[in-house]
Chains A and B, each alone.
Chain A
């Protein structure tokens, strides 16, 4: 036989061997716990929630799903469980759109939880590409179809993580590997599910959340150079269409699931920024908000909470790291309000809290020293 033909054969066999070895490693270690909960090796988790959620949905026991954007990302599952008396699974994703959230929630609902707690911002309802064109969210892995599983097994990145988790599970190597584990090199750097995307114990909360930072953020977004971004958000019809497509369809398709939907307490500065730079945007947000509240009241399985006008929180700028993101202390307050049923929107008067917010925004004056 021609030597080159033999070498082609060797080339293909050697390639196949490497690929099969990597796939076997991924299957056995299973860093995302797609096939089984971690038993043989230490369970490790990634902060990349769009990827990690696909594994969490399959590997965790839960009766309640917690969804949202960065506003909900730092909640601890242990706090949710303790305060609300549930077994929760946090699936919040930073900067997520309603399309992503609805897709991940739909995947989680196949495990038949009883309740969904959903933090909703009005800006998540915007046109985004189809879920299969989303480069950050492995849609086929959520679906568990052949392409998704093959992509997972044939992923070199997963193989690298698997090898690292394997090394970490070997007792003499564990301390050295743990020391070298860094999120820059390895995605799966978190030990406990409860610690995924939460503030570290050594984090200085006071330095992160204070009025100085909130005011600096306010100045930044209202700077004339950047204020144009605030003016972009005026397409009411698009928001309604996307809201109907993503949220309403999901709620209507799951009448046995209770949806506790809440509107988070942004700092008053967020609204004032809109008031002062683009009253058109503010009007559009109010209009969509009114539609949102009224529409959700059509569904008996929805309980809507509106925390946007909770003055004690929203006017105390020390609660914020910028104009919207609140501290872990406010996370706990939100859970208490949910447990107590406070600020729940009345079906007969769905826009009472919105009206209260509107008058707060109108009357709020920024002191000169803050400017």
Chain B
């Protein structure tokens, strides 16, 4: 089921919301069970054949977690249990996500014709990572014992299940256990509606609105220089508005239930360095990769050289997490190289004179954006050949069309760029503070309150009017 569908907005969400608050009269556990069941129903609408896999994954990880938390095991067996748990998770992920990729590469190398046709269960990358983090923390002794319904809800919670944000058990389960979240809060519901409306508009109005321009670069036999750039930039903004729209909608929905989800975006295209970009783009994934891959690998604790190696490994695996294809590996590798250069510049580059600080920042901002756009070409292309072809067109100003059509398309891109670069983001507008569980604190006193309410209503209405059939979120396929 899609957030941007009439059935979700007008049927599923209101029913689940009413049921949740009604169930709270039956005790603290009833709303948790209700929400977990509703999440399974949500998942089964389009992925019914993988519900069993999801349940098996929850059961397996809960059992492993229980063994790790119980403290009855000595150090050696504990490590073995953790290894078995993580290996089990990665094995399932490998089978469903990477088996086809491995077989295709095997065929290419050994000229065989083995065939593997396995459907990718939606959300598997997200719920696998979420649970690996849980197991690792359980091993580190950072996890209290959780009841099974709370744990099941933590994994299946429908606002995040399909495309994140990647949740952390220490952030979420206490919220599910709290009594506060089970009482309807008109303030949180209002804020949730506004944030959901903004997210819906980002998805159906902005991301879907620019989708057709992407084909100029990626679905044409021979795009010109300007068409290749328009297509690449269109994808850059489509992906941002699509994924950040989804994340806003997830945060908004969750707020209506009184649950604060972590932020996933913080105006990433305003970044003035690649390090800064990764602090703003898909933040929950960046944090996961940092805490559960980069730091365990050694992070920056073993000298400069190993730091760069660790960065490269982290980004390569981060790329592969997005999809089983060499294009994603190339994308990850490119960002790994960018990060290494960025760190090297910080450590070894010349200091910028104060007088040049502002122009240098503008150059850094442009360079960062350019680097990100180039990397997105690999992310979007069907193959490395196709990516290199598009990039070759972007580097060849010999053929320029720039007719009436391209001018209008260029103007459209400029509007999107202006929104991404100049407009405040949703959390800034709404005063969303995930850490302190606050949102819209100044709402009551604010003279702009009617603007927010009616502006949000307008965004919500335009979002509804923009709903198209079958417009999936791009990150569903990861």
Chain A residues with a Cβ under 8 A of chain B: 2-5, 7-8, 10-19, 22, 133, 135, 138, 150-151, 154-157, 159, 182-185, 220
Does B190 lie within 8 Å of A7, measured CB to CB? yes
Does B408 lie within 8 Å of A156, measured CB to CB? no
B467 within 8 A of A: yes
**Interface hub of A3, A8, A15, A157 (most chain B Cβ within 10 A):** A15
Given contacts A10-B453, A182-B408, 16 further A-B contacts (CB under 8 A): A3-B444, A8-B186, A11-B190, A11-B193, A12-B193, A14-B453, A14-B454, A15-B458, A18-B461, A19-B464, A19-B465, A135-B469, A156-B204, A182-B405, A183-B405, A184-B409
CB-nearest residue of chain B to A155: B465
CB-nearest residue of chain B to A2: B186
Does A15 lie within 8 Å of B469, measured CB to CB? no
The size of the chain B interface, using a CB distance under 8 A, is 34
- Chain A hits for B186, CB < 8 A: 2, 4-5, 8
Q: How far is the CA of A184 from the CA of B453 in the complex (A)?
A: 33
Q: How far is the CA of A182 from the CA of B408 in the complex (A)?
A: 9
Does A19 lie within 8 Å of B408, measured CB to CB? no
B381 within 8 A of A: no
- Chain A hits for B190, CB < 8 A: 4, 7-8, 11
Q: How far is the CA of A3 from the CA of B444 in the complex (A)?
A: 8
Does A159 lie within 8 Å of B458, measured CB to CB? no
Would you list 8 pairs from A and B whose C-beta atoms are within 8 A, ordered by A residue? A3-B444, A4-B185, A7-B449, A8-B190, A14-B453, A14-B454, A19-B465, A133-B470
Chain B residues with a Cβ under 8 A of chain A: 6, 185-187, 189-190, 193-194, 197, 204-205, 221, 404-405, 408-409, 444, 449, 453-454, 456-458, 460-462, 464-471
Does B465 lie within 8 Å of A15, measured CB to CB? no
Q: How far is the CA of A17 from the CA of B462 in the complex (A)?
A: 11
> B462 touches which one: A13, A18, A220 (CB < 8 A)?
A18
- Chain B hits for A16, CB < 8 A: 461
Q: How far is the CA of A185 from the CA of B404 in the complex (A)?
A: 11
Does A156 lie within 8 Å of B460, measured CB to CB? no
> B464 touches which one: A138, A154, A220 (CB < 8 A)?
A154
CB-nearest residue of chain B to A182: B408
- Chain A hits for B471, CB < 8 A: 135
**Closest approach, in angstroms, between the C-beta of A158 and any C-beta of chain B?**
9
Does A156 lie within 8 Å of B205, measured CB to CB? yes
Q: How far is the CA of A302 from the CA of B185 in the complex (A)?
A: 68
**Closest approach, in angstroms, between the C-beta of B197 and any C-beta of chain A?**
8
- Chain B hits for A15, CB < 8 A: 197, 457-458, 460-461, 464
Given contacts A4-B187, A7-B449, A156-B466, contact A182 B458 (CB under 8 A): no
**Closest approach, in angstroms, between the C-beta of B376 and any C-beta of chain A?**
23
CB-nearest residue of chain B to A132: B469
CB-nearest residue of chain A to B466: A156
Q: How far is the CA of A150 from the CA of B444 in the complex (A)?
A: 37
**Interface hub of B190, B458, B468, B470 (most chain A Cβ within 10 A):** B190
